[in-house]
Amino acid sequence: MERVCFILQVKKDRLAEYRERHRAVWPEMLEALRETGWTNYSLFLREDGLLVGYLETPDFEAARRGMASREVNQRWQRQMADFFELDGEHADRSMKRLDEVFHLD
């Protein structure tokens, strides 16, 4: 099982709405995440907009490809794109993965 941690940057003026959107993630989006192998998935948001994501999956690249092929993910990414400081990519393609340097177990 891969443990994956990534970062993105949410625009400071969109933090409240970003939090609100994640209180009501579409059921079909949640289902797609589960079906494509995104388990123990969490997002953490700092007040300056730093977003830290964590998940566990058997194969992260396969999980990303699986989500990229889902129509619900394409809709979600279009609606969420303006929340992030991005270089022309959707957030799901702009994640900056962090290297794991320690794990207790």
Residues tagged active-site: 22
CA 32 from centre of chain = 13
Task: Quote the CA–CA distance of 42 and 54 in Å, as a whole number.
Answer: 5
Task: Quote the CA–CA distance of 89 and 81 in Å, as a whole number.
Answer: 8
Task: Quote the CA–CA distance of 43 and 21 in Å, as a whole number.
Answer: 12
